Amino acid sequence: MNSRKDILASLHAHRGILFVGMLFLFAIIISCASHSPQTNKLAFVSEEEELSLGKRLQVQAVKQLKIIRNQEISSFFNKIAADIGAQSDWKALPYQVFIVNEPDLNHFSLPGGSIFVFRGIIDISDTASEVALIIAHEIAHLVARDGVDRLSAKYAFAFAAQSVIGENPEIPYQIISNLYSDGTILDYPEKNEYLADERAIKYAWKANYDPSALLTIMEKIRDTQEVDPEKVALLNLTHPSIVKRYKRARVEVMEAPYKTSLRKDLPDFKNIKNLLSRIPR
């Protein structure tokens, strides 16, 4: 993927343009797709096909993004994802966290369990629970299979995740290259984002992470947006306003039962941040 500045600079120039190769692919897919007689919607991709598709998308994302390759950092955040994933509604999904070496306050996930957290989120976090709630938000999207549903609704990928993607390695490349163009697979309806916040609170609470950390990280995103809006530009392309999300999330957090076991932080988080600070940007 291009750098953050390249992405932002090219958004207006490329907005509304569909490249010919994707049009051709979509025409083939739509002509072959099977539909449900009840809903006239494309049949949903199986879990096995989602994992296969997700693996190919993950490979391309890791190639195109500036991923921090440090075993200690990766293990720390993968452990958080495993804790929360075990309390989610899709416990068997192999969640994996990748840290993107960019200053943006951004995060997203791809079908199959891959979660991408940008370095900027960790930089502004004071506790591990703040990052944990971001990870929980993405786990909620993965549990709901929002990414695959988006592909199905927009590009008719659902029925052909294995065959077409497997036969044409350019398709995963194009999907990842166009994550922030019009028609992105990350552009979920607002209700999906609010539901992801709601479920993130539930999953984190069950995993003993303090759900109020979602509010504190949202406050920091909001404050950053006021002084440096470019850092939040990518997040705003695929999410409702942080103010609207905060108001809804606050109600959910207030309704979460109190537990003495809730963790605001993890002992190693400061060490992880120190280690991250020594990695060149």
Give the side-chain half-sphere CA count within 13 A for 186. 22
Q: Domain of 171?
A: 4-277
Looking at the 3D structure of the chain, how many domains does it have?
Answer: 1
**Which residue, among 150, 146, 124, has the nearest Cα to 217 in the 3D structure?**
124
Determine contact, residues 242/225, Cβ cutoff 8 Å: yes
Tell me the pLDDT tens digit for each residue of 211-227: 999 999 999 999 999 99
CA distance 158 to 152: 5
More confident site: 151 or 29? 151
Residue count of the chain, please give it.
281
CA angle at 106 for the pair 101 and 109, rounded to the nearest 5°: 95
Q: Is the pLDDT of residue 20 over 70?
A: no
Tell me the pLDDT tens digit for each residue of 232-253: 999 999 999 999 999 999 999 9
Average confidence (pLDDT) over 147-154: 79
Tell me the pLDDT tens digit for each residue of 69-83: 999 999 999 999 999
Q: Which token pair is 58? A: 């993950």
Q: Is the pLDDT of residue 33 over 90?
A: no
pLDDT at 155: 64
Q: Is the pLDDT of residue 179 over 60?
A: yes
Q: What share of the chain is helix, strand, coil (3-state, %, to 5)?
A: 60, 5, 30
Q: Is the pLDDT of residue 61 over 50?
A: yes
Tell me the pLDDT tens digit for each residue of 93-145: 999 999 999 999 999 999 999 999 999 999 999 999 999 999 999 999 999 99
Mean pLDDT for the chain overall: 85
Alpha helices (H) along 33-127: 47-64, 71-85, 119-124
Give the side-chain half-sphere CA count within 13 A for 118. 19
For 185, the 3-state DSSP assignment is: coil
Proportion of the chain above pLDDT 90, given as a percent: 67
Q: Is the pLDDT of residue 193 over 60?
A: yes
How far apart, in Å, are the Cα atoms of 165 and each of 16, 130, 175?
A: 24, 35, 11
